[in-house]
Amino acid sequence: MKPITEAPKGTKDIMPKDIYKWQHVERKALSVAALYGFKEIRVPTFEHTELFLRGVGDTTDVVQKEMYTFKDKGDRSITLRPEGTSGVMRAAIENNLLSEKLPAKLCYNISCFRYEKPQAGRLREFHQFGIEELGSPSPASDAEVISLAKNVLDNLGIKGVTLFINSIGCKNCRPRYQQLLKAYLNEHEDSLCPICRQRLETNPLRIIDCKEKSCSKLIEQAPKMIDHLCPVCSDHFKELRERLDKMGIDYSLDPDIVRGLDYYTKTVFEFVTDCIGAQGTVCGGGRYDGLIEEIGGPKLPGVGFAMGIERLLMVMEACKAPFPHEEKCSLFIASMGKEASIEASSLVDRLRKEGICAESDNMERSLKAQMRFADKEGCLFTMVLGDSELADKRAVLKDMQTKETREIELDDYFCLKFGRILIEKQLKETLDAPLEKE
Ligand code: ATP
Ligand code: MG
């Protein structure tokens, strides 16, 4: 039988050697969100298919082409979430978050599933950090959410991203604009790709998002939503820009951002970088004033965004953003013989209980091999236990970087003494490090 050692197409294992990068991004995002008053919510990986048909929109690419949908054994149609907002809205309604203090501020770290053509920055299972602010129609919420996204990117040391904003109107002004757009595109139907010809009937706004050259060329000359906003949407957008200006957040207007999900109204925005090639949108978001009602909740507005973690990491590597150092093992206790091995395990156990990362040998390796292992792991200190160390109750501690050695007693104060040596070393490194320029 052929061994099954290949992951499904479009999925990626995240290896232990890289996990600190993921944890760094997730922690930073959550801690910045907390500064803005956002609390984490955890929702199921799958939902009733109907939720996404109504939320994301049944004529969008996501629903028509990209969803992982299946019947479960109870004959229910289930879908692996292609995005976070719909599920979070469902949970907020179901758990009465929207009848409590508003705005409700929620954030999440999730995996999403889309049946797409896998390529760099485009996977079938990918990860998002997202936030949702529910309850306020004011552009104050839009500005807050955009500021949060920017703050996360800044905190991660990501450089060279541009914020693009647009308004795509509301249910009062959009239908009239859609007619204008449709009339224009009807005249040029021959230049549209076959899919967009269908979209002309089902969802003309989606054509603005089409990546086909002939379609995007047509769209350049098409009427723009931004020129046909009703007074309410126009004022909303004006105030948002005022607020962003006052906050010192730079942006560019892009009348062709519509976003790929149907629930957006008024504000839409993207943070885009040009340093990782075609898949440069690291964050996308906007306002969704009809969504909560659409899926059966109260008539309440919302605004949010989602960041693609894989793309964030790609950008961070590309722009050489700093990652915190991986926690290194502080002490490797090598041993010779069974008695010493048992003593080593027990010392290591004591250190760990004091919050110090320590290792000993579980592989019955030779002393030479144990030291090679400690070296490869980058352990800060090593210590060897043999018969004489056990008899004297003292051993030699070696700093693996400076090669300095010193004796340490294996008594009741061992952990305390080693902890002190460790702190002194770290302090010295900090004091010796050159000051970084702001
Ligand atoms: P794109 O235009 O790149 O397909 P999208 O508009 O479909 O993006 P959203 O639904 O707004 O993306 O999702 C928010 C973010 O999630 C994107 O900006 C991107 O960073 C990330 N993302 C979306 N789809 C994928 C995917 N298949 N693989 C990896 N990341 C993705
Ligand atoms: Mg997409």
The pLDDT tens digits for 44-96 are 999 999 999 999 988 888 998 999 999 999 999 999 999 999 999 999 999 99
For residues 55 and 119, what is the distance between their CA atoms, to the nearest angstrom?
A: 27
CB 279 within 8 A of CB 288: no
Alpha helix ranges (H) inside 77-121: 85-94
pTM of the model: 0.92
Give the burial string for 289-328 (b: 16+ CB within 10 Å, else e).
bbbbebbebeebbbbbbbbbbbbbbbbbebbebebeeeee
Mean residue pLDDT of the chain comes to 94
- Residues within 5 Å of ion ligand 2 by Cβ? 260
For residues 244 and 186, what is the distance between their CA atoms, to the nearest angstrom?
A: 37
For residues 259 and 271, what is the distance between their CA atoms, to the nearest angstrom?
A: 12
- Atom 9 of ligand 1 has which residue's CA nearest to it? 284
Number of H helices, E strands in the chain: 15, 16
- Tokens encoding 20: 């600190």
- The atom number, within ligand 1, closest to the CA of 307 reads 15
Distances (CA, A) of 321 to 7, 21, 121, 270: 29, 11, 18, 20
Query: How far from the centroid of its chain's Cα atoms is residue 286's Cα?
Result: 17
Query: What pLDDT is attached to residue 211?
Result: 86
Query: What pLDDT is attached to residue 261?
Result: 80
For ligand 1, say whether the CB of 116 is within 6 Å of any of its atoms: yes
- The atom number, within ligand 1, closest to the CA of 114 reads 27
SS3 state of residue 218? helix
pLDDT digits (tens, 9 = 90+) for 199-257: 898 888 889 988 889 999 999 999 999 999 999 999 999 999 999 999 999 999 999 99
- The atom number, within ligand 1, closest to the CA of 312 reads 20
Query: What pLDDT is attached to residue 275?
Result: 85
- How deeply is 241 buried, as exposed, middle or buried, from its count of CB atoms within 10 A (0-12, 13-18, 19+)? middle
Tell me, in angstroms, the distance from the centre of ligand 2 to residue 298's CA.
29
CB 285 within 8 A of CB 269: yes
pLDDT at 438 over 80: no
For ligand 1, say whether the CB of 63 is within 6 Å of any of its atoms: no
Tell me, in angstroms, the distance from the centre of ligand 2 to residue 66's CA.
9
For residues 41 and 349, what is the distance between their CA atoms, to the nearest angstrom?
A: 35
For residues 26 and 20, what is the distance between their CA atoms, to the nearest angstrom?
A: 10
- Tokens encoding 377: 């792991």
Nearest to 135 by CA among 84, 174, 96: 96
CB 269 within 8 A of CB 256: no
pLDDT digits (tens, 9 = 90+) for 16-55: 999 999 999 999 999 999 999 999 999 999 999 999 999 9
For ligand 1, say whether the CB of 287 is within 6 Å of any of its atoms: no
Residue 183, amino acid = A
DSSP label of 328: P
pLDDT at 437 over 80: no
Tell me, in angstroms, the distance from the centre of ligand 2 to residue 356's CA.
44
Q: What percent of the chain has pLDDT over 90?
A: 85
Distances (CA, A) of 370 to 68, 256, 352: 48, 61, 19
Neighbours of 270 (CB within 10 A): 22
Asked if residue 298 has a cis previous peptide bond (ω within 30° of 0), the answer is no
SS3 state of residue 232? helix
Query: What pLDDT is attached to residue 262?
Result: 81
Query: How far from the centroid of its chain's Cα atoms is residue 226's Cα?
Result: 30
Nearest to 256 by CA among 230, 218, 283, 308: 218
pLDDT category at 436 given cuts 50, 70, 90 is: low
- The atom number, within ligand 1, closest to the CA of 270 reads 18
The ligand whose atoms approach the alpha carbon of 56 most closely is 1
DSSP label of 389: H
Neighbours of 425 (CB within 10 A): 17
- The atom number, within ligand 1, closest to the CA of 128 reads 16
For ligand 1, say whether the CB of 311 is within 6 Å of any of its atoms: yes
pLDDT at 113 over 60: yes
